[in-house]
Amino acid sequence: MRVGIGYDVHKLVDNRDLIIGGVNIPHEKGLLGHSDADVLTHALIDSIFGALAVGDLGKHFPDTDPKYKGVDSLKLLKYAFKLMDEMGYKIGNLDCIIIAQAPKMAPHLDKMRKNFADILNTDLSNINIKATTEEGLGFTGNREGISSQAICLLLKK
């Protein structure tokens, strides 16, 4: 069994979609990034890469590579799953958190969990996603950005 942790953060800006966990969430701002800037999916991918000891998101998908410009991060998660599968591992469980002052994430969490379960070929009961605010503190509390953390347990198949 192997454990990995992931973290990601992106700045909120005008004229971008807010995509988190593969869900387009209605909001007046979106996250800035080379790809779709999906902080939750990026943190999850990094936790898988960490558990596999194969580097990080930037190593596999450099922001200097134009082929990743605007890419759907769920496609990047499919790559992480393929690598995990080829190395002989499967998901034990995932625990993820989204840190955002706004918008409310609760209405979208089940769809995010389903997106991840489908791609990672695991039961929905193996995936937990929660959200919190920072009570108005820091860059997330000031609505300047959104961050996310994830931890995964991988098991040998």
User: Any binding-site annotation on 105?
Assistant: yes
Pairing between β-strand 89-99 and β-strand 127-132 as defined by DSSP bridges: parallel
User: Any binding-site annotation on 35?
Assistant: yes
Residue type, 144: E
User: Any binding-site annotation on 21?
Assistant: no
Query: What DSSP line would sit under 13-61, residue for residue?
Result: ESSS-EEETTEEE--S-EE-SSS---HHHHHHHHHHHHHHTS--HHHHS
User: Any binding-site annotation on 41?
Assistant: no
User: Any binding-site annotation on 122?
Assistant: no
Token pair of 103 as six digits: 């918008």
User: Any binding-site annotation on 141?
Assistant: no
User: Any binding-site annotation on 28?
Assistant: no
User: Any binding-site annotation on 27?
Assistant: no
User: Any binding-site annotation on 103?
Assistant: yes
User: Any binding-site annotation on 65?
Assistant: yes
User: Any binding-site annotation on 139?
Assistant: yes
User: Any binding-site annotation on 102?
Assistant: yes
User: Any binding-site annotation on 133?
Assistant: yes
User: Any binding-site annotation on 106?
Assistant: yes
Tell me the C-alpha distance between 96 and 142, whole Å: 22
DSSP assignment, residue 130? E
User: Any binding-site annotation on 30?
Assistant: no
User: Any binding-site annotation on 66?
Assistant: no
Tell me the C-alpha distance between 117 and 20, whole Å: 15
User: Any binding-site annotation on 157?
Assistant: no
User: Any binding-site annotation on 57?
Assistant: yes
User: Any binding-site annotation on 140?
Assistant: no
Write out the binding residues. 8-10, 34-35, 42, 56-58, 61-65, 100-106, 132-135, 139
Write out the binding residues for a divalent metal cation. 8, 10, 42
